Amino acid sequence: MAYHKHATPNFRNLIVRPMWITLKAALRTIPIIGRSKFLQSHGTSKPYHGQETNLLSDAEREMYTAQAHPVIGQTYAPDRETTELFPHFERPVTVMYPYERLEEMEPWLFVPGNYNGRIGVIWETCTACKACVRICPNDCLHMETETRVNVLDMTEEGDEHHGFGVELEVGGIAARRLEGSEEAAANFQLSTAHEAPPEEYEFGEVINLTGDTISVRWNASGTVEDVEAGDVVGAEVDIVSGRIDLGRCMFCGLCMESCPFNSFFMTNEYDGMSGFTREDLWFEADRTRVLPVQHAEAVDIELAKRADQARKKAEKAAAKAAKSEA
Amino acid sequence: MAEMWISMGPQHPMTHGLWTLKVKVDGETVVDTEPDLGYIHRGVEKICEARDFTQITPYADRLCYASANTWSHAYIYAAEDLLEVEVPERAEYIRMVAVELQRVASHLMWLGAYCPDVGNLTGMVWCLREREMMMDLLQELGGSRMHYNFPRIGGVKRDLPIGFALRCRAKLKLFLERIQEYEAILDESTIFLVRTQGVGYAKAEEMINHGVSGPNVRAAGHNYDVRWAHPYSIYDELDWEPSVERPSIKGSDCYDRYRVRVEEMRQSALMILDGLDKMPGGADTHYQSGDPAILGKAPARAAEGQTGFHHFEDSRGESMFYLAGGGDGRGKHPYRVSIRSPMFITIPYASKCMIGYKIADIPAIMGSFDPCIGETDR
Amino acid sequence: MILMATEDVLSIRDWVRVATDFISENTIGMSRHWEYTDSVSYFLMEFIMCVMVFGGIMTTLLVLLWMERKLLGRFMDRRGARTSLRSLWVGENGVTAGEWWNQLPFGTGVPVGMLNKFLNEVAGNDHELEVVSRVKNRSYHGVWWLLPGFFQNLADGMKFLTKEHMVPEKADRYVFEIAPFLIIATTVMCFTFIPLSPNFYSNDSEMSILFLMAVFSVAPLGVFFAGWSSNNKYTLLGGIRSAAQLTAYEIPLLVTVLSVVVLSGSFNLIEVIEFQADSGVWNIFLLPLGGVLFLVVMVAEVERIPFDMPEAEAELVEGWWTEYGGMRWGLMFASEYLRTYAACLLFAHFFLGGWEAPLEDTIPYIHYVPHILWVFLKAWFMFIFFVWFRAALHRVRTDQILEFGWRWLLPLSLVNLAMATALRLWVYDGINGEWPLLIPILITSISLALFILLSVDEDPEALEAQTRPFSVQTVDVASPGQHRE
């Protein structure tokens, strides 16, 4: 009946074996003595704790070296670690959260795109197709309105995709980039900032378009200012803004997969989603926003696609106009 | 002393979940039992009638929260049967890795809960320590530690991450060494043997008549493992064997059920290592999500009259999903989702197994059947 | 009176006597009841000694609880954050509640800040070195780091004082209230009889061991009262199990203690210790079986794992003390540890020579170590075994516990008594004689040999013949209907 080779109820197994095993486990926790061969796993001579294991593949090693990530050179063991200064002192794996974060120590657990964290949306490229709203099993997502700058309007002059955005018109909205917003956006850490990302644009109403300058009444201050044409871009009140009820979200990731426009991501953020009331868990667009600079590739792909579409449309319209003239 | 009914009530440290076990005792001997289930009935089957096929997967995860991947994969195979979908081979291998990792984690959780049931607190901490390694692997693969929503109809959510194969091999090799040590504190401990051998006899014929499956029935000597008897996915291509114990005349006792699960952990670990070697395309290549190598095309609707069925080797037994198409949304929703939970079948049988033994044997016997009330109540 | 075979630096009893004499002479002696001066002085001295002995033991109880916590952690392969150098520092870039050294007046804390910075550079992490970059410019925990965790248990005790005391409505109220008093009172009374040093004891009666055992054995009654009166099926079961278990283990306990008494020739605990001092050999080398028996029986008497069925949390939640709240529960919980402590101290006194230093004649200067410290060190050493049993072994089922007690321990304890009698009558020569050195060496080596023989009683060939672990019974694929024979 017993198939383990030592499993018989005798005196040795009554006291000696279990007490010796637990004593071995206890002695292994002592810094220098714990590494002696005598105490290691039975059957092998490798250390029970702190077996040096290479846990980074070559591709990862290159990637992390390029980023100067602290995990390079780490002697990893699945449950114990040491430092170079004190190689015989093993540290317990307690992560002193919130001062240390697991993503610094085991970055492969939090590779972007791999972890089901809180959602992040690049609203500038969203088109309000509501695929995410439909796919959510729990009705967590809702659409809202927001004033924002569209991706096609975010290009600079001289960019190949420039010029396909919204036209400024009287009574419409103009947006100007805030000072230092680029730097603030680049420095913004989504995972540690438990607040909304910094505002990038200030909005105002266009009053007068004639002449070289544009008169804009800024929403924030109410003053009227004349600005250069190149300083402002068009903006609109978009219905493409959303709100997620994190109280209902089960972090399944279906919304991320359903977005056809590369706009919806699951970030690696696992904290900062707390509040005292249920309403605190309704995250508006500003809390779910992923800054375009952080997913620049996705933004570029979308921008190229839409600029192409707009260009083709313009060419078709021009061809039609030429045809109807001819 | 007179006979009395004790209620090992809904809140109890031993019961491994939310259910009541009413026990009639005569002194210390158990004379009769009556299980009371349904405290966490969440109406999953009814909820699923209002969800798309893709949206049901996260619900399947939450059926048995300790063993989420096995349940979502069980559902996915049934959905693929319903929608008649071809699954690429690489996706099958990836699914196998996820399922077997989850099986190891589930058995470690079971052992980690079984040790304090028989009194040893050290075993619990050691088992959970090993389980953390599996949880880390599952987090890398699936995106979170408990509910992954990993399989998709036609394939998997994403491919093995870069570097996953390396870490998986390293951790599983370490696990195979470490497993010997908590076998030592259990198998080589007279008190554990005295507590579990000769306790909770369950005969194979009775179990089969009742419908018990999985490690419980394999402990009684009957070689029925769905992966072996009716191979699905790529289990017939891997090098493994089901773990079956040879019990005594009186049937299988708690010790046999414990041994079967320990050996199953070993077999699953070896299966994963084998699968990583045999994976088409290699374990180190990484396809993007949605690549046809890991995700096949699947229709979204099932017409009325279409049905899908699959039985699956869950960590606790044989689970089955039956899907009938033709529900709301012109077939986008299923008309009926029927879930057969192995534990729902086993718990009444296990409760009768306890008759004749002492109260102190109740946690030993109940724990050895590995109940998970999430899947029982659905 | 006492045979003062050993000198003690801390002659506490004498000092207290001097003080109470002084008080008594200057108060009673000056009044018209002057003939009671001596008896009042004696009474005061005994009272103060009782309180001091109890106080000494209660404060060192914290050591016991601390030991258990830390040792269990090590056995379970987990260590606290405080044991790692890394955890000395908290906070990133000094973001804590305010670096304490900068808050000290007159800039006295500035060197501490400099030291902190230096240590961060040396033993903190710099990712250019091959270390994991976890710590960057943190500040130090401060002086709180030095406290080793003793006060956790004090805080626990204070917490119990703040909790509500409830009596279940249908419970038998008077019995319910009396039970904790019985338990804790008798446990505390035990400590009166335990001497801590030749001059630091509170009781030196001729029958101290007898009374000690009698008082120790009242606790099962209190446990049964608690279990019965709570009007709760679980506690009833726990109380009954406990009563059965403790009763079953009383007899081996008494017989083992009797064997020590027979060997030492007196029921006076102090004389038992003096006997070990005079005869030159600690009792454990003469009665190793008795020592092991005493240890095992005491583990059962204080209801620790592996014998903790009455309070087995897997089945009975908390067993016989489920319905108690607040300090009543706290006192009963404390009484479990107090009884464990009493058991360890008794083991030290009975078998390990009490307050004698080991190898007194050979190691120079060892007699400068105060006797009370030896007593505590030996008791704490025995406690390690208690904790080790708890970590390594499983819980034994109640009927198996009873079987073990009646079928194995009782006969063994009778054998032990026979050995003790034989030793005392035929081997020991006269009062204040010494054991011939051959005897303890012979006995100890025979016991060790027996232990080793019993420990390797496996037949390797028989085990090899067992089939490999995962054996597949049938290679046929099972199919529906196949099992119907």
Calculate the alpha carbon distances from C122 to B105, C79, C86, C89 in Å. Answer: 40, 24, 12, 13
Together in a domain, C16 and C142: no
pLDDT of the residue at B288: 83
pLDDT of the residue at B302: 83
List of chain C residues whose C-beta atoms are within 8 Å of the C-beta of residue B192? 394
Query: Per-residue pLDDT tens for B243-271?
Result: 887 777 778 888 889 988 998 998 899 99
Interchain CB distance below 8 Å, B28 and C393: no
**Domain-embedded: residue C24:** yes
Using CB atoms, pick whichever of C314, C391, C473 lies closest to residue B223. Answer: C473
Please check the confidence at residue A2 and state whether its pLDDT lies above 60: no
Angstrom distance (rounded) from CA A124 to CA A132: 16
Query: Per-residue pLDDT tens for A273-293?
Result: 877 888 888 888 777 877 776
Pairing outcome for strands B29-36 and A232-245: unpaired
Buried b (16+ CB within 10 A) or exposed e, A1-24: ebbbebbbebebbbbbbbbbbbbb
Together in a domain, C50 and C91: no
Together in a domain, C88 and C194: no
Q: Does A109 touch chain B (CB under 8 A)?
A: yes
The boundaries of the domain holding residue B267 are 50-341
Interchain CB distance below 8 Å, C471 and A3: yes
Q: Are B125 and C77 in contact (CB under 8 A)?
A: yes
pLDDT class for C1, splitting at 50, 70, 90?
Answer: very low
Q: Does A314 touch chain B (CB under 8 A)?
A: no
**Domain-embedded: residue C151:** no
pLDDT of the residue at C5: 42
Structure tokens that stand for C112 in this block: 């501490």
Please check the confidence at residue C68 and state whether its pLDDT lies above 60: yes
Q: Does A79 touch chain B (CB under 8 A)?
A: yes
Instruction: For C466, name the nearest residue in chain A, comparing CA atoms only.
Output: A3
Together in a domain, C315 and C197: yes
Place of tokens 């048995």: B64
How far away is chain A from the Cα of C285, in angstroms, using its nearest Cα? 21
Structure tokens that stand for B273 in this block: 């290592």
List of chain C residues whose C-beta atoms are within 8 Å of the C-beta of residue B228? 477
Together in a domain, C219 and C125: no
Angstrom distance (rounded) from CA B18 to CA C317: 15
Together in a domain, C115 and C243: no
Mean pLDDT of A69-86: 60
Together in a domain, C105 and C212: no
Q: Does C92 touch chain A (CB under 8 A)?
A: yes
Interchain CB distance below 8 Å, A6 and C393: no
**Domain-embedded: residue B89:** yes
Angstrom distance (rounded) from CA B72 to CA B67: 9
List of chain B residues whose C-beta atoms are within 8 Å of the C-beta of residue A10? 190
Interchain CB distance below 8 Å, B116 and C314: yes
Q: What is the DSSP letter of A265?
A: E
How far away is chain B from the Cα of A94, in angstroms, using its nearest Cα? 12
Q: Does B166 touch chain A (CB under 8 A)?
A: yes
> In this predicted structure, which of B154-163, C113-122, C432-441 has the lowest mean pLDDT?
C113-122
Instruction: For A12, name the nearest residue in chain C, comparing CA atoms only.
Output: C455
pLDDT class for C141, splitting at 50, 70, 90?
Answer: low
> What is the CATH number for B199?
1.10.645.10
List of chain C residues whose C-beta atoms are within 8 Å of the C-beta of residue A86? 85, 123
Interchain CB distance below 8 Å, B120 and C315: no
Number of domains in chain C: 3
> In this predicted structure, which of A203-212, C414-423, C461-470 has the lowest mean pLDDT?
C461-470
Instruction: For A80, name the nearest residue in chain B, comparing CA atoms only.
Output: B129
Query: Per-residue pLDDT tens for C402-459?
Result: 888 888 899 999 999 999 999 888 877 665 667 777 888 888 999 999 888 887 766 6
pLDDT averaged over chain A?
76
Please check the confidence at residue C461 and state whether its pLDDT lies above 90: no
Together in a domain, C140 and C221: no
pLDDT of the residue at B2: 73
**Domain-embedded: residue C255:** yes
Interchain CB distance below 8 Å, B244 and C470: yes
Together in a domain, C295 and C313: yes
pLDDT of the residue at C476: 37
Candidates B97, B232, B231; CA nearest to B151 is B97
How far away is chain B from the Cα of C312, in angstroms, using its nearest Cα? 8
List of chain B residues whose C-beta atoms are within 8 Å of the C-beta of residue C394? 115, 118-120, 189, 191-192, 195
List of chain B residues whose C-beta atoms are within 8 Å of the C-beta of residue A55? 163, 166-167, 170
Q: Are C271 and C278 in contact (CB under 8 A)?
A: no
Please check the confidence at residue C127 and state whether its pLDDT lies above 50: no
C269-279 vs C233-264: helix crossing angle, rounded to 10: 40
Please report, rounded to a whole number, the percentage of residues in chain C having pLDDT higher than 70: 76
Instruction: For C79, name the nearest residue in chain A, comparing CA atoms only.
Output: A92
Q: Are B145 and A38 in contact (CB under 8 A)?
A: no
**Domain-embedded: residue B154:** yes
Q: Does A70 touch chain C (CB under 8 A)?
A: yes
Query: Per-residue pLDDT tens for B108-144?
Result: 999 999 988 888 888 888 888 889 889 989 998 988 8
Angstrom distance (rounded) from CA B98 to CA C441: 61
pLDDT of the residue at C318: 65
**Domain-embedded: residue B216:** yes
Query: Per-residue pLDDT tens for C370-417?
Result: 888 889 999 999 999 999 999 888 888 888 888 888 888 999 999 999
Buried b (16+ CB within 10 A) or exposed e, C142-166: eeeeeeeeeeebeeebeebeeeeee
Query: Per-residue pLDDT tens for B264-320?
Result: 998 899 999 999 999 988 888 888 887 888 888 888 888 888 899 999 999 999 999
List of chain A residues whose C-beta atoms are within 8 Å of the C-beta of residue B253? 1
The boundaries of the domain holding residue C237 are 163-454
Interchain CB distance below 8 Å, B133 and A78: yes
C100/C248: higher pLDDT: C248
**Domain-embedded: residue B99:** yes
Q: Does C473 touch chain A (CB under 8 A)?
A: no
> In this predicted structure, which of B156-160, C150-154, C187-191 has the lowest mean pLDDT?
C150-154
Angstrom distance (rounded) from CA B254 to CA B155: 38
Interchain CB distance below 8 Å, A5 and C132: no
* Residue from B22, B115, B191, B218 whose CB has the most chain C CBs within 10 Å, to mutate: B191
* Residue from B29, B117, B130, B257 whose CB has the most chain C CBs within 10 Å, to mutate: B117
Cβ–Cβ contacts within 10 Å for residue A168, how many?
Answer: 19
List of chain C residues whose C-beta atoms are within 8 Å of the C-beta of residue B191? 306, 393-396
Cβ–Cβ contacts within 10 Å for residue B285, how many?
Answer: 14
Interchain CB distance below 8 Å, B181 and A41: yes
Q: Does A9 touch chain C (CB under 8 A)?
A: no
Number of domains in chain B: 1
Chain C residues touching chain B at CB-CB below 8 Å: 72, 75-78, 233-234, 237, 241, 305-306, 308-309, 312-315, 317, 390-400, 467, 469-474, 476-479, 483
Phi, psi of C370 (to 5 degrees): -65, 145
Please check the confidence at residue C201 and state whether its pLDDT lies above 90: no
pLDDT of the residue at C134: 44
**Domain-embedded: residue B239:** yes
How far away is chain A from the Cα of B170, in angstroms, using its nearest Cα? 7
Q: What is the DSSP secondary-structure string of B261-326? A: HHHHHHHHHHHHHHHHHH-TT-TT--PPTT-TTTB----S---TT-EEEEEEEETTEEEEEEEE--
Together in a domain, C409 and C427: yes
Using CB atoms, pick whichever of A6, A113, A137 lies closest to residue B187. Answer: A6
**Domain-embedded: residue C342:** yes
Interchain CB distance below 8 Å, A250 and B147: yes
Global pTM exceeds 0.90? no
Mean pLDDT of C355-368: 73
pLDDT class for C91, splitting at 50, 70, 90?
Answer: low
Q: Does C292 touch chain A (CB under 8 A)?
A: no
Please check the confidence at residue C484 and state whether its pLDDT lies above 50: no
Q: Are B19 and B373 in contact (CB under 8 A)?
A: yes
pLDDT class for A157, splitting at 50, 70, 90?
Answer: low
**Domain-embedded: residue C459:** no
Instruction: List Cβ neighbours of C116 (8 Å cut-off, separation of 6 or more).
Output: C89, C101, C138, C139, C140
**Domain-embedded: residue C201:** yes
Angstrom distance (rounded) from CA A173 to CA A232: 10
Q: What angle do CA A252, A256, A257 make, to 5 degrees?
A: 95
**Domain-embedded: residue C26:** yes
**Domain-embedded: residue C218:** yes
Pairing outcome for strands C139-140 and C89-90: antiparallel
Angstrom distance (rounded) from CA A226 to CA A92: 63
Query: Per-residue pLDDT tens for A208-261?
Result: 777 677 777 887 777 777 777 767 777 766 666 778 888 888 888 898 888 888
Interchain CB distance below 8 Å, C234 and B116: no
Together in a domain, C36 and C95: no
pLDDT of the residue at C347: 94
List of chain A residues whose C-beta atoms are within 8 Å of the C-beta of residue B158? 113-114
Q: Does A83 touch chain C (CB under 8 A)?
A: yes
Structure tokens that stand for C88 in this block: 């000395």
Angstrom distance (rounded) from CA A109 to CA C2: 71
Chains that touch C (3 or more CB pairs under 8 A): A, B
Please check the confidence at residue C32 and state whether its pLDDT lies above 90: no
pLDDT averaged over chain B?
88
C424: left (phi over 0), alpha (psi -120 to 50) or beta: alpha
Please check the confidence at residue B50 and state whether its pLDDT lies above 60: yes
